Amino acid sequence: MLETLNSACKEILKVKKRVLIALTGLHGSGKSTLGKELRRKGFGDFKPYQIAVIDDGVMSINHPRVKIKSDQRDELRPFFKFIMPF
């Protein structure tokens, strides 16, 4: 599955600056755990420093954590200024 995701991300990055991947699932299904592992180890051709994880309103990128409370409808937009295009 991660090989397919890696290939899809590389294709998207040929025409876009970044890729946004959303994980959904029930409580306790492993979404946060997967996010932490991707952030810690990277995946495929992507190194950990190239991955940002936003979990419960806290973004982790290059190890620092940034917490933003948002009143906007688009709760991801405030984090974009911290994510460098690759």
Do 10 and 45 meet the contact criterion of CB atoms below 8 Å apart?
A: yes
Question: DSSP label at 66?
Answer: E
Q: pLDDT (tens digit, 9 = 90+) per residue, 6-44?
A: 999 999 999 998 898 888 899 999 999 998 888 889 989
Angle at 9 between CA 5 and CA 10, to 5 degrees: 120
Q: What is the pLDDT at residue 56?
A: 80
Sketch the domain layout of the chain as residue ranges: 2-82
Find the DSSP H helices in the chain. 2-12, 31-41
Enter the pTM of the model.
Answer: 0.63
Q: How confident is the model at residue 4 (pLDDT cuts 50, 70, 90)?
A: very high
pLDDT tens-digit readout, 42-83: 989 999 888 888 888 777 776 555 566 666 666 666 677 666
